[in-house]
């Protein structure tokens, strides 16, 4: 008898992510425009996103490792979603850059606290043969939230053009609902003994030293790719710069997330069948195609095509990479392994987003997108060579 792929816990966590992403993605496509409206430059937007992602990443490593050490998942997940919900109205009332930075950091800290523990809980609910499907289903519902959220923003902005602040208060509602839904998950018992070293903030870095060769090789490829994969804010700003209005930009972003949501689960299942590596590599090539196209395009129709491809890329890499990582580490180290990878990725994202603003300002957007496309092709060949004898 085959094990149940989608358990009750997997479904609840997926619906929690759905609600939380409705809240977050209601704001995401308007955030760069909102930040510009209160005086943020392109460079400052890049620095803000870079620092926010670094906070999220480093905390993912620490709290993911701590979750493994004390044998608890749910408290981290609850606190993480609660902080993210509370950050939404704070962004609306923040005017000074320091307050905006603080509110955005609280949101990303919440993500950092919950991510490693949540992904470890998802991994615990799966087998080696069903990891792609479980992470893919979770990513599908998460991405469905990224469709519903911008749709709400689209309808609102149609009737209230350029009135961004009320959206931040609306986003609080699904955010806080996601927190309350977590009370339907049963808490697991903690380990009886807890090593004092569990509370060392940089403990997760030690995992890199003792991790397997496969984990290190995969990490190097993903981190290199992340170093040149800046925030999607820059894709949205590119469309705004060529003259598309808020409705077009949000509409294209919604279409992208529709594909992301629809394809994450089937591509996850495909990864279980033909190998996670093949699906991930396919995604990298699609990323290169999209960023090369973004460098020169000015047509709204080509942007539609590029974001269709971008949706397939996202579905083929995000959940797949987590499933791949969880398959090359011990079950007791899943939170640490995913958290450590996420920590290094977020530090790389901080560098990528911060430097992306500078590259855009000094050399133009074309140089930024072509550089990202070139590095993704380089990472593709690196992973092909390093994992040539593995699925």
Which tokens sit at 133?
């499907």
Per-residue pLDDT band at 278 (split at 50, 70, 90): very high
For tokens 């790719």, name the residue: 225
Q: What is the DSSP string of 21-82?
A: HHHHHHHTTTHHHHHHHTT--HHHHHHHHHHHHHHHHHHHHHHHHHHHHHT--HHHHHHHHH
- Whose CA is closest to 91, among 26, 160, 29, 168? 168
pLDDT surpassing 70 at residue 195: no
Q: Which segment of 56-65, 100-109, 141-150, 200-209 scores lowest on mean pLDDT?
A: 200-209
pLDDT surpassing 90 at residue 312: yes
Look up the CATH number of domain 8-183+207-386.
Answer: 1.20.1250.20
Q: What's the mean per-residue pLDDT of the chain?
A: 83
What are the residues whose beta carbons fall under 8 Å from the beta carbon of 142, sequence distance 6 or more? 14, 17, 18, 21, 261, 264
pTM of the model: 0.74
Torsion angle of the four alpha carbons 209, 211, 214, 217, in this order, in degrees rounded to the nearest 10: -30
pLDDT surpassing 80 at residue 106: yes
Domain range annotation of the chain:
8-183+207-386
Per-residue pLDDT band at 19 (split at 50, 70, 90): very high
- Whose CA is closest to 19, among 250, 173, 186? 173
What are the residues whose beta carbons fall under 8 Å from the beta carbon of 315, sequence distance 6 or more? 136, 139, 143, 259, 260, 262, 263, 264, 267, 283
- H/E element holding 200? none
């Amino acid at each position: 008898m085959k094990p149940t792929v989608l358990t009750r816990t997997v479904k609840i966590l997926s619906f929690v992510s759905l609600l939380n992403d409705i809240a977050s993605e209601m704001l995401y496509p308007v955030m760069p425009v909102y930040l510009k409206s209160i005086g943020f430059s392109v460079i400052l937007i890049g620095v803000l996103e870079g620092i926010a992602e670094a906070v999220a990443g480093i905390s993912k490593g620490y709290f993911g490792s701590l979750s493994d050490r004390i044998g608890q998942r749910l408290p981290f997940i609850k606190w993480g979603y609660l902080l993210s919900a509370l950050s939404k109205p704070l962004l609306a009332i923040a005017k000074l850059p320091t307050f905006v930075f603080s509110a955005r950091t609280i949101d990303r800290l919440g993500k950092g606290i919950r991510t490693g523990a949540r992904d470890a809980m998802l991994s615990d609910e799966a087998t080696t043969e069903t990891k792609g499907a479980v992470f893919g289903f979770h990513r599908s519902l998460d991405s469905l939230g990224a469709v519903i959220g911008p749709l709400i923003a689209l309808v609102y902005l149609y009737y209230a053009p350029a009135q961004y602040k009320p959206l931040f208060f609306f986003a609080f509602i699904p955010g806080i609902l996601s927190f309350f839904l977590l009370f339907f998950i049963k808490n697991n018992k903690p380990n009886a003994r807890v090593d004092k070293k569990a509370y060392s903030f940089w403990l997760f870095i030690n995992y890199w030293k003792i991790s397997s060769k496969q984990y290190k090789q995969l990490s190097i490829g993903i981190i290199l790719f992340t170093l040149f994969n800046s925030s999607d804010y820059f894709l949205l700003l590119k469309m705004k710069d060529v003259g598309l209005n808020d409705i077009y930009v949000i509409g294209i972003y919604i279409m992208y997330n529709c594909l992301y949501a629809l394809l994450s689960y089937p591509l996850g299942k495909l990864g279980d069948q033909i190998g996670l590596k093949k699906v991930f590599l396919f995604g990298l090539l699609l990323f290169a195609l999209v960023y090369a196209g973004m460098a020169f395009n000015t047509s709204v129709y080509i942007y539609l095509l590029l974001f269709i491809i971008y949706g397939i890329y996202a579905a083929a890499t995000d959940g797949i990479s987590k499933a791949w990582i969880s398959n090359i580490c011990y079950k007791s180290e899943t939170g640490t392994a995913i958290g450590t990878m996420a920590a290094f990725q977020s530090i790389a994202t901080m560098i990528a987003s911060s430097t992306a603003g500078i590259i855009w300002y000094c050399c133009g957007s074309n140089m930024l997108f072509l550089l990202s496309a070139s590095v993704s092709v380089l990472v593709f060949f690196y992973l092909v060579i390093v994992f040539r004898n593995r699925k």
